Amino acid sequence: MGAAVNRQSQSAVLFLLGAALLHAGATDLYLRYVKAGLRPLLLAAGAVLIVTALATAWYERRRAGRRHAEGHAHPEPRVSWLLILPLLALILVAPPALGSYSATRTGTALQEPLAYPPLATADPLPLSVVDYAGRAVYDHGRTLAGRTVRLTGFVALDHAGTPYLVRMALNCCAADAQPVKVGLTGHIPPVLQPDTWLAVTGVYTPRVVHDPVNGGPIPFLEVTDARPVPTPRDPYDESWNN
């Protein structure tokens, strides 16, 4: 068998992978990898992997017992157990969410909304970055006129120092996350650090620029107040393509 992965190590890897999926799905860790709607599938996949691992280990144990009785036992290669190390890293170390570095090197992914649902009467009105940007660009701010809105996102600065409020939008998982950007003007804090999360209150302004990366539209918000906030439980925006 040499250094090939034997069935016992295969079952161990399957078990740990299933445990990692269950751990991620049972906590907020999974939000660093996939959108919230995929949580049931993630938990189901983890359960299937664990059942498969236990069945494989049981079958191999019985077969090893028969081989031992017949005098044909072979030593197990130990190098295959090194495959467990990446899985332990997956369980113990949560990757950071994508931030300003990715946002400034990727063009805005803003797409025209299919519809513009009626807005709540709250004042200020909480909106996602994606929702505000779509209404500002493609509806020309008609549903935003006369409203004070509040957006939450992280700060990114372009090469000229222009501040953007950004949210990475998910289609499926973090691997396909793309930024949607809203430019900030008005009463902006004098010092802004990239990747700082802000809750920004302001009003619609018709100003729109083109993203230097891909030429996509970036609307602006006239800021009246901006305050630092903790990183949200789910750092990604899932309203894109919904």
The model's pLDDT over 25-65, given as tens digits with 9 standing for 90+, comes to 677 666 666 666 666 776 787 788 778 877 877 777 777 66
- CA distances 69 to 1, 73, 75, 168, Å, are 19, 8, 15, 59
For the chain, the domain total comes to 2
Q: Are 170 and 240 in contact (CB under 8 A)?
A: yes
Are 133 and 86 contained in the same domain?
A: no
Residue 72 pLDDT: 55
Average pLDDT over residues 174-190: 88
Are 166 and 215 contained in the same domain?
A: yes
Q: Examine the pLDDT at 86 and tell me if it is beyond 80.
A: no
Average pLDDT over residues 226-237: 86
Q: Does residue 242 fall inside a structural domain?
A: no
Tokens of residue 48, six digits:
């299937």
User: Final residue of a domain: which of 92, 122, 138?
Assistant: 92
Are 118 and 168 contained in the same domain?
A: yes
Structural domain range at position 55: 7-92
How does the average pLDDT of the chain come out, rounded?
A: 81
Cβ count within 10 A of residue 169: 26
* DSSP 8-state secondary structure symbol assigned to residue 234: S
Look up the CATH number of the domain holding residue 139.
Answer: 2.40.50
- For the entire predicted model, the pTM comes to 0.68
Residue 242 pLDDT: 47
The secondary structure element, H or E, covering residue 167 is strand 163-169
Are 122 and 188 contained in the same domain?
A: yes
Q: Does residue 81 fall inside a structural domain?
A: yes
Residue 84 pLDDT: 63
d(CA 191, CA 71): 75
Are 84 and 145 contained in the same domain?
A: no
Residue 43 pLDDT: 79
